[in-house]
Structure 1
């Protein structure tokens, strides 16, 4: 079957530092503007509003509990924060004893289980990252590790039936799936797709495919389980994350920025942009 022609991405907004952790929430695209501590909401016309500034520089990521309260994983500080009704931030979970490395991404499933990845032992000399983990924070606040030896844990997504978690292993060039047990534990680890690229942020669609952002290859790619490439969207800078949103969840939002290496992530450069493109299938699952 012939693949559809590559769609043209449209610029939504510019002037960000590093946009990460995009979420479609309450009719707008929310994202973390790494390097500034800002959590921003962007509407369809590109208008931006700073919703919250958190005591973190990078990494930090967001999602929401089923009751609507915002969660923020403050990666270097090792704290999972929760925003209360009065706007204040309280500690939902303290992860500092579980890791010597920063935490990265977060996803909350439909039952209120919160998964946070990254962490792991301290990196070896000369290395930026060590093998990461996934921890689970249950609705009652209990914390436990549910996976380990993740090769640079990045984006995560949960299927709409709450039975499968997929995580991007950037340094292993693959998406990895786990079965989710009734108690939130992960089992039956398997390769969901081997990739010709470096997956960062991911999201799922209603046709059973996944989109993944790829920084060095400056693209977002739609793949089936097994790795068949269905569609590719290329832009002029590194793609860090993607999310399906819009009124029908069929708009793919791409968060991109110029990549100059980890040592230059904190700078005054504001090369971060949000692009959009029409997608063939709507987003499903979590986030």
Structure 2
């Protein structure tokens, strides 16, 4: 998983002079064409591809999707990248005299509604021979940063190279080993994602595909403290969850759901009890305004505020007359509003009174709004440092989704930020962030770390499957992880991000 060197071999190797290794990059994927199968790529459902003569071929164009976008493409699963160089050879089977014939290079793909692509063609207008973005609506061109040149000429094979850098959003497309790009544009909001190839609406063949990733990208070594090791701080619990660092008391508070209590853990390793019984409180979030603790109570099916003495005040327990399923995790925003997830994990044998497993927003006034209803099993949740994006983990789909937060607190334009799929036990669950906007999400095998735009940095491996994490300690640089029977920690160079709440007073 991730960016390990992998060779995907499909069919018979073509005779071709490969482009030299780009400076500062390393080979991540090679589709050369020896033996293999189409199982290593994923085709858009309505298009048809085959493997013949050592090449990947579009054999049926398929039908248009929900928005105007390329009809036929494949993506490379298991590679979620930001900065990249993609090289390949392709031949469009449409006659050269037909204007608008094309092949496409795709990147930043999270689903059929969200990606960017370079449209190489023999004809230039606003949407042909251009760099375009599919962002929840019909594809739209990015303004060209240089005069486009249409170079998909003739009936033969061409070589292509696409470069994308995240820091400046620049995208460049080259044809036939030219040193000068024929297409250049800047994406003001680039995202990491899968890479792919295809065509808008033509039959085409592809060969000698190479994906390169940066060698100087951020790694876990840049984030973890020198010599840092994951260490067990306490054990003997049943199922630990919901860690929050109490800055006033200088200790960690965390849930042990089946034991029906919220515990405390001092830096010296002393375990105490904060609340018992806790109505099977799961996720918690510390409110620095008054030292209180927000809690999502599974069994009581509500969201509460625990005063520093442990007394609970119910903030919300219904939506449109029906009880919540079992609130799971929450985050406090700078306005004082609370976003929380409501999957059905804690319902037990009780019937659901809600039509979906959703995400809600609780205003300081007490008004509850359903803001997200298109997820399968919403779980962990956090908000970006600039307040523009809400991140939610989906435990069934094994993804993190990012939603744009409007001025009114509404959430829209949900897209997959990252995939968390591995063989080890565990699912995407609780999450936290650092001040650089990096996302730390528990999942298979440990804590997955993503860059702000979704690029996978790596995994912090944990001895037990973790369910949640938070930053704490004097400098907010210790990453605490709740994992089944234990609480673990690792020292980092990062500083945890706690949303600064500017609204006066806790409601």
Range into which the TM-score falls when normalised by the shorter chain = 0.7 to 0.9
Deviation string for 1:46-79 (max 9, x for gaps)? 111211124413x532224444433222223222
Q: Following the alignment from structure 2 to structure 1, what is the Cα–Cα distance between the partners of residues 278 and 482?
A: 22
1:278 match? 491
Q: Following the alignment from structure 1 to structure 2, what is the Cα–Cα distance between the partners of residues 227 and 195?
A: 11
Indicate which of 241, 261, 272 corresponds to 1:20: 241
Deviation string for 1:89-115 (max 9, x for gaps)? 232212264456322111111221011
Higher mean alpha-carbon deviation, 224-233 vs 204-213, is at: 224-233
1:63 aligns with 2:292: no
Change beyond 3 A, Cα 1:61–1:47: same
1:165 aligns with 2:390: yes
Q: Following the alignment from structure 2 to structure 1, what is the Cα–Cα distance between the partners of residues 454 and 368?
A: 33
Q: Following the alignment from structure 2 to structure 1, what is the Cα–Cα distance between the partners of residues 453 and 306?
A: 39
**Is the 1:98–1:119 contact (alpha carbons within 8 Å) kept by the matching residues of 2?**
no
Indicate which of 223, 228, 231 corresponds to 2:450: 223
1:247 aligns with 2:468: no
Deviation string for 1:145-186 (max 9, x for gaps)? 111122211111112333221111121121111122222221
1:200 aligns with 2:424: no
2:336 match? 112
Higher mean alpha-carbon deviation, 180-189 vs 67-76, is at: 67-76
Q: Compute the TM-score of the two structures, normalised by the length of structure 2.
A: 0.48
Alignment of 1:1-287 (within 5 A): 1=215, 3-4=219-220, 7-26=228-247, 27-57=250-280, 60-65=282-287, 66-84=289-307, 87-95=310-318, 97-98=321-322, 101-119=325-343, 132-197=357-422, 198-214=427-443, 217-257=444-484, 272-286=485-499
SS in 2 for 1:102: coil
Q: Compute the TM-score of the two structures, normalised by the length of structure 1.
A: 0.82
Q: What is the number of residues matched between the two proteins?
A: 266
**Is the 1:177–1:189 contact (alpha carbons within 8 Å) kept by the matching residues of 2?**
yes
Could you tell me how far 1:17 is from its partner in structure 2? 1.5
Larger strand fraction of residues? 1
Q: Following the alignment from structure 2 to structure 1, what is the Cα–Cα distance between the partners of residues 413 and 301?
A: 28
Note the residue ranges of structure 1 that are not aligned, 5 or more in a row: 258-271
Indicate the structure whose relative CO is greater, using CA pairs within 8 Å and at least 6 residues apart. 1
**Is the 2:293–2:308 contact (alpha carbons within 8 Å) kept by the matching residues of 1?**
no
Larger gyration radius, structure 1 or structure 2:
2
**Is the 1:131–1:152 contact (alpha carbons within 8 Å) kept by the matching residues of 2?**
no
Change beyond 3 A, Cα 1:81–1:53: same
**Is the 2:479–2:491 contact (alpha carbons within 8 Å) kept by the matching residues of 1?**
yes
CA root-mean-square deviation = 2.9
Deviation string for 1:89-143 (max 9, x for gaps)? 23221226445632211111122101121247x99x9xxxx95201111001111
